């Protein structure tokens, strides 16, 4: 299992949590190692454009697309999930286009009430589809979020879980062997451990 190291994201904490769960992983930016992996985690924090440029310049973004077409299991985390879509209102760079849709900014207010942005802290997920995946992640589980933008898939069938923060947004997505989680499993304690364990064991 490869965790892509492209200079964006707190990847060591994900590797440490996987190790705690009893699973081996490697932090790597080596295309050959990633090309050989059957499970790939795409992490990310920060600005969409900066991460998209890094993936393009290193060729790792195209490699993720190729591994997806080959049937590898992909998990995008936080910004890594957003990068799976076509693009973001945050910038101008294209995403990987694996899951059709756009990344949108949370509104500043809803029904005349100011909305706190970024969405930061613990919040509940509601499973809405793909219940065969992540059997130990349940409807009503709470995970830790830090983000100002959210994924808006074109196909409702790509939504795996939703969360409310002014709007109901996709907190998990899935298309084929590709899954995205908007929250931070590495900051979500036991529930984050369950999610990463489910991905590693599938």
How many structural domains are present in the chain?
1
Contact 104, 149 (CB under 8 A): yes
pLDDT tens track for 42-101: 999 899 999 999 999 999 999 999 999 999 999 999 999 999 999 999 999 999 999 999
Element (H, E) at 101: strand 101-105
Of 94, 96, 185, the closest CA to residue 137 belongs to 185
Parent domain of 122: 2-201
Residue 122, pLDDT score: 99
At residue 112 the predicted structure's pLDDT band, cuts being 50, 70 and 90, is: confident
At residue 8 the predicted structure's pLDDT band, cuts being 50, 70 and 90, is: confident
So which residues are the catalytic ones? 78, 184, 186
CATH number at residue 58: 3.40.50.880
Element (H, E) at 42: strand 39-42
Q: What is the mean pLDDT of residues 139-164?
A: 98
Cα(104)–Cα(152) distance, integer angstroms: 7
Whether pLDDT at 199 is above 90? yes
At residue 180 the predicted structure's pLDDT band, cuts being 50, 70 and 90, is: very high
User: Helix or strand or coil: residue 113?
Assistant: strand
At residue 11 the predicted structure's pLDDT band, cuts being 50, 70 and 90, is: confident
Q: What six digits make up the tokens of 132?
A: 């065969």
Q: What is the mean pLDDT of residues 17-27?
A: 94
H helix and E strand count, the chain: 6, 15
pTM flag (> 0.75) = yes
Whether pLDDT at 10 is above 80? no
Strand (E) positions, 78-198?
Answer: 87-88, 101-105, 109-110, 113-114, 119-124, 126-127, 142-147, 149-153, 159-165, 167-175, 178-181
């Amino acid at each position: 299992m490869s965790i892509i190291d492209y200079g964006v994201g707190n990847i060591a904490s994900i590797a440490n949590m996987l190790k705690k769960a009893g699973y081996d992983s490697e932090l790597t930016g080596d295309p050959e190692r990633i090309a050989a992996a059957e499970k790939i985690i795409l992490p990310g924090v920060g600005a969409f454009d900066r991460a998209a440029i890094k993936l393009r310049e290193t060729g790792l973004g195209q490699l993720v697309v190729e591994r997806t077409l080959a049937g590898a299991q992909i998990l995008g985390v936080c910004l890594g999930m957003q990068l799976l879509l076509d693009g973001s209102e945050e910038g101008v760079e294209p995403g990987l286009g694996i899951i059709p849709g756009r990344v949108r900014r949370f509104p500043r207010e809803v029904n005349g009430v100011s909305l706190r942005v970024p969405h930061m802290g613990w919040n509940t997920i509601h499973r809405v589809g793909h219940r065969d995946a992540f059997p130990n992640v349940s409807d009503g589980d709470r995970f830790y979020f830090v983000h100002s933008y959210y994924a808006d898939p074109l196909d409702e069938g790509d939504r795996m879980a939703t969360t409310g923060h002014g709007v109901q947004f996709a907190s998990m997505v899935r298309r084929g062997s590709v899954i995205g989680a908007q929250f931070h499993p590495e900051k979500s304690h036991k529930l984050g451990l369950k999610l990463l364990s489910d991905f590693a064991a599938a």
